[in-house]
Amino acid sequence: MNIVLFYHSLLSDWNHGNAHFLRGIATELIKRGNTVSIYEPKDAWSLQNLIADYGQEAVQELQNYYPLLSSIQYDPATLDLDEVLKDADLVLVHEWNEHALVKAIGEKRKKYSFKLLFHDTHHRAVTEKASMSAYDISNYDGVLAFGGKIRDIYLSEKWTKNAWTWHEAADTNVFHPIENTGYEGDFVWVGNWGDEERTKELFEFIIEPVKEMKLKAKIYGVRYPDHAKAALADAGIEYAGWLPNFKAPEVFSKYRFTAHVPRGPYVKALPGIPTIRPFEALACGIPLISAPWDDTENLFTPGKDFVFAKNKEEMKRWIDRVLTDESLVGEMTTHGLETIRSKHTCAHRTDELYQICEELGVNNLNQTMTL
């Protein structure tokens, strides 16, 4: 197939957690013999913030981890959509693109024969409904939603006639266990602070347990306000700033366990959507303790792939178990890794995309699926 992907950014993962999955899917499509063109705006806010904070060299290492990938940076004012789209078989447009571009691509769908899908990987369908309803996807063939609840919203609000659940997954070309050469600490967490959507939970499930148990801990992420950095320092937690997403496996290998603390909108309004973080941790074979969320779509086997902690005291009890019970750790990491490898890789999601393409009658669909 000739596939065109419109991403917010391929090059940057600064406050852009979707970059992992988007990079992994693009890699898998290329490995299967497709021609894949990836477009991103040259002034993407994630890329601009990354360069401002860490310099141009921060994006250059990406090629070492994703040798098959490159992107075309465009100016929205001069982008020739006819030239970009005229020979396409399939076009995917991520929802972090501007409203005008989303609509303009839809208009071209009426002119050419490609199939067109909108890809939603965020909670804004609930938290910013006015903004999401303003996207004109009337000419799109459907929506790829990274959870059943979001799929249902698109259908019930009549924003689209067709929608499929398309969960994120691990890119196991990059996210896999790395041999442990010695631990640097007890606990590591990779995550952005983000709009005060989980401040209470971060204190309850990470900051306070680490402080009270006197653990050696490190946290990576961006957008941490001064009061958050002060709280980390008070708890004895090292704040390490931005971590390139593709470096997370190397970091995970140096610590005893990690945690998952979902943002409020997912827990309260969008059950069944864990976001990318549990996929990343389990794929790397690091023990995972999670704050509560409802796995309504049966993605995992809680208690075997990872464990839930209901509150701070339960979190502390699980931490003590993980730090002292090697048998538990071995069973949990083995089970979690098998769950990822058996059903939650970017190869599995590409198979699902191929099945959707078959439903839509996409041209030139002759690659072999892995299922």
Tell me the pLDDT of the chain (371 aa) as tens digits: 999 999 999 999 999 999 999 999 999 999 999 999 999 999 999 999 999 999 999 999 999 999 999 999 999 999 999 999 999 999 999 999 999 999 999 999 999 999 999 999 988 888 889 999 999 999 999 999 999 999 999 999 999 999 999 999 999 999 999 998 899 999 999 999 977 778 999 999 999 999 999 999 999 999 999 999 999 999 999 999 999 999 999 999 999 999 999 987 788 888 899 989 999 999 999 999 999 999 999 999 999 999 999 999 999 999 999 999 999 999 999 999 999 999 999 999 999 999 999 999 996 555 444 44
Element (H, E) at 185: strand 185-190
Where in the chain do CATH 3.40.50.2000 domains reside? 2-169+345-360, 185-343
**Residue 131: alpha-carbon gap to chain centroid:** 21
- Taken as a whole, the chain contains a residue count of 371
In sequence order, what DSSP letters do the residues of 198-228 get, joined into one string? SHHHHIIIIIHHHHHHT--EEEE-S---HHH
Q: CA 207, CA 228: separation in Å to the nearest integer?
A: 10
Q: CA 35, CA 58: separation in Å to the nearest integer?
A: 27
Other Cβ atoms less than 10 A from the Cβ of 198: the count is 22
What's phi and psi for 292, nearest 5 deg? -65, 140
Burial class (CB in 10 A: 0-12, 13-18, 19+), 54: middle
Q: Which CATH class is domain 2-169+345-360?
A: alpha beta
Q: Which CATH class is domain 185-343?
A: alpha beta
Other Cβ atoms less than 10 A from the Cβ of 247: the count is 15
